[in-house]
Amino acid sequence: MDDDPSSSTVAFSILREGGTRLDLALAEIDRLHLHEETIPELLEDLTRAIEEDGILEDPVIVDRETFVVLDGMHRVKALRRLGCRFIPVCFVDYHSPEIRVDRWCRTVMDDTRMDELRECIESAGLEIEEFSASSLAEPPLVKGAVGVLETRRGRYLLTSDGKMSVLSSFRAVGRVEGELRSRGFKIGYETERDAEEKLRSGEVDAVILPPKIGKEDVVETAVRGEVFIHKATRHIIPARPMQVNVPLALLRGSGLTLEEANKRLSEMLRLRSLKRMPPGSLWKGRRYEEEIYLFE
């Protein structure tokens, strides 16, 4: 496939108000770069569900310049397991300010064992020290900083020996998470705002904030073949197409060139109507913050 998805391999384009373009196409699955780990249990369930349904419902979101997958790691791996050569993608411009990347915070529940939380952090090879919330803008400004632990008792800096990259910091947070799970702590994933609200209300007992993550961190890590821990990035995308329902037979692509496969996808999609749902719409039990374009 030509690196420029504006070529003839694009099957269907959606031009949003303001000029943002969503390009739907089939891409060669081996060209995609994943930036985040998958969860084995979820991957098993998804692979089984796709095989039983015989279709992939929703395209994965991919940066059109680098072929880095922004959303849909499990779908990519599932289709690879199912022997697919092609995968439906929605190409977007990752440089666009409309696309933002944030982090997932870890929430911890079990107020009776907060002293044990410190033990888990130290078992993961990190040190913990209290600091004033006003004395530090972001943990990466301090040598060896990994993240921040917030509890109702105070705010603490998590550090390691030597300088830490964003990737190694997230891996350290992953080690802490693993230690906590092994001791029976309940871990959740929340946006920074939701995590802080739940801490204030008493719904959770502690919050671990990983370092801020940038688009360049995502791209550089993925292109060199490395991945962040699961639930590291949270991409905020202004719109996404859904329910493309591409058959596995087409994705396996026996005897087809990429151009031929995209021509078939184009024919399929042009026979269907496109419905726009505004941000905040409920679809299949989930409320979406972004616009949705449904193929009906």
Q: Is the pTM of this model over 0.85?
A: yes
- 8-state DSSP, 272: S
User: How far apart are the C-alpha atoms of 130 and 148, rounded to whole Å?
Assistant: 10
Residue 34 and residue 84 in one domain = yes
CATH number at residue 244: 3.90.1530.10
8 Å CB contact between 289 and 279 = yes
The band of 86, judged by pLDDT with boundaries at 50, 70 and 90, is very high
Residue 185 and residue 259 in one domain = no
**Domain membership of residue 175 as a residue range:** 102-214
Query: What average pLDDT does the segment 36-53 reach?
Result: 96
Instruction: Specify if 5 maps to a domain.
Output: no
8 Å CB contact between 244 and 88 = yes
Per-residue pLDDT tens over the stretch 156-165: 889 888 778 8
| Residue 110: predicted pLDDT | 80
Residue 110 and residue 93 in one domain = no
8 Å CB contact between 90 and 78 = no
Question: What rounded mean pLDDT belongs to the chain?
Answer: 90
Instruction: Specify if 190 maps to a domain.
Output: yes
**Is residue 36 predicted with pLDDT exceeding 50?**
yes
| Residue 140: predicted pLDDT | 46
Per-residue pLDDT tens over the stretch 219-237: 999 999 999 999 999 999 9
8 Å CB contact between 31 and 64 = no
8 Å CB contact between 98 and 240 = no
Instruction: Specify if 25 maps to a domain.
Output: yes
- Which has more pLDDT, 274 or 6? 274
Helices 166-182 & 114-123 angle (0-180, nearest 10): 130
Question: At 116, which helix (H) or strand (E)?
Answer: helix 114-123
**Is residue 5 predicted with pLDDT exceeding 60?**
no
Domain boundary among 161, 182, 214: 214
| Residue 168: predicted pLDDT | 93
